[in-house]
A and B are shown apart, each in its own frame.
Chain A
């Protein structure tokens, strides 16, 4: 009997969606929306909003602590404070290759990376690879009480010395 009923449906209604198809599409669609929501939720949950990491701004102390023509590495903050005859500048000690901490070699007068052998001059210019870029200069200024301050998060393009 039901077969007869189906047979009498006019052929143009084939373009219309059947009830079953409608519910399948609704089901698949809602699962897809839920999956997208879950992906967005997971991504947000896994990205921390507050980081309990050390401040990028470092107090490097009084300028007198640094002897003239010296390169001083602070291994805790990973910055070099370089004092030349003209003034001070701060250099990142993080190798631009894969992020190891470089070291100053006073006997050679260069900065070298222990991980993969990159070498830099004391003004950050690359001598040899695999590092792709020179060591960046970091923003440095004098605080009101006369301390050298360094912002590790901001590299400066124009090389300016801090004169004391």
Chain B
């Protein structure tokens, strides 16, 4: 039975269509495995080989991967929430309440989105602390730290823009306060606030602008910088494995 299954799998993998997609072909050699990673557009962001030490839990606590995991949950649940949510002033709050009380599994998806958002902010900070205290930000990885800081800002902006969308009292006053903080910028502060809100008060234009930022512009920026962030890990010599052991020579 197992033999027949193996044979079938082997037949599929030798198939012309399969081979046109996965060019590396069958084989268990290191070369084949390396080619499989290298020739895949998604996997080629990563190294074809990793040090065993870097895959252990203690090396990273998997904080970066967990952050990416929450991001994937947020993208999927976010797209599903968009199917019921209208970013317009009387409708937004009602849609949020409908998601909680009327839509099947709506409350599950909304809560999953909200809790994952909180978790992502927490995990980004935890990831940065881990990288900082292990010294993994040092050369040659210093530029990837900079990309990480950009990703922190994108995460916080995603969190902030998403906060307005339920259009309840908490959201309204949080964004009123936040946009007034932005207007404290010298010289062009009130202009920044005007562009941010698309008006002089938190209103229909502000809701729409925050919605577009939250659902299109910021996720696009996040995906772009995440791709560069992952690719840089490979280019900078893989995940930081710690200082190379130095021999202590005794006289």
Smallest Cβ distance from A25 to chain B, in angstroms?
31
B204 surroundings in chain A (CB, below 8 A): 52
Indicate whether B201 reaches chain A with its CB closer than 8 angstroms: yes
| Contact (Cβ within 8 A) B195 A115 | no
Indicate whether A14 reaches chain B with its CB closer than 8 angstroms: no
Bound form: Cα–Cα A52–B194 in Å: 14
Which of B176, B179, B198 counts the most chain A CB atoms within 10 A?
Answer: B176
A48 surroundings in chain B (CB, below 8 A): 198-199, 205
Q: Which residue of chain A is the closest to B179 with respect to CB atoms?
A: A99
Partner of A100, one of B177, B198, B203, B205: B177
| Contact (Cβ within 8 A) A53 B195 | no
Bound form: Cα–Cα A49–B127 in Å: 44
Indicate whether A2 reaches chain B with its CB closer than 8 angstroms: no
Bound form: Cα–Cα A47–B209 in Å: 12
| Contact (Cβ within 8 A) B173 A53 | no
Indicate whether B200 reaches chain A with its CB closer than 8 angstroms: yes
| Contact (Cβ within 8 A) B194 A47 | yes
Indicate whether A57 reaches chain B with its CB closer than 8 angstroms: no
Partner of B201, one of A46, A53, A98, A100: A53
| Contact (Cβ within 8 A) A100 B199 | no
| Contact (Cβ within 8 A) A98 B181 | yes
Bound form: Cα–Cα A100–B194 in Å: 17
Partner of B199, one of A51, A98, A115: A51
| Contact (Cβ within 8 A) B203 A98 | no
Partner of B173, one of A43, A46, A51, A115: A115
Indicate whether B38 reaches chain A with its CB closer than 8 angstroms: no
Given A52-B204, A53-B201, residue A100 in contact with residue B173 (CB < 8 A): yes
Interface residues of B in 154-205 (CB under 8 A from A): 173, 176-177, 179-181, 194-195, 198-201, 203-205
Interface residues of A in 12-63 (CB under 8 A from B): 43, 46-48, 51-53
Bound form: Cα–Cα A47–B200 in Å: 11
Interface residues of A in 49-104 (CB under 8 A from B): 51-53, 98-100
Q: Which residue of chain B is the closest to A97 with respect to CB atoms?
A: B180
Given A47-B194, A47-B195, A115-B173, residue A99 in contact with residue B200 (CB < 8 A): no
Given A46-B195, A47-B194, A48-B198, residue A53 in contact with residue B203 (CB < 8 A): yes
Given A46-B195, A47-B194, A47-B195, residue A98 in contact with residue B177 (CB < 8 A): yes
A sample of 20 more A-B contacts (CB under 8 A), given A53-B199, A98-B181, is A43-B195, A46-B195, A46-B198, A48-B198, A48-B199, A48-B205, A51-B199, A51-B200, A51-B205, A52-B204, A53-B200, A53-B201, A53-B203, A98-B176, A99-B180, A100-B173, A100-B176, A100-B177, A115-B173, A115-B177
B residues neighboring A (CB under 8 Å): 173, 176-177, 179-181, 194-195, 198-201, 203-205
Show 15 A/B contacts (Cβ-Cβ < 8 Å), sorted by A.
A46-B195, A46-B198, A47-B194, A48-B198, A48-B199, A48-B205, A51-B199, A51-B200, A52-B204, A53-B199, A98-B181, A99-B176, A99-B177, A100-B176, A115-B173
A residues neighboring B (CB under 8 Å): 43, 46-48, 51-53, 98-100, 115
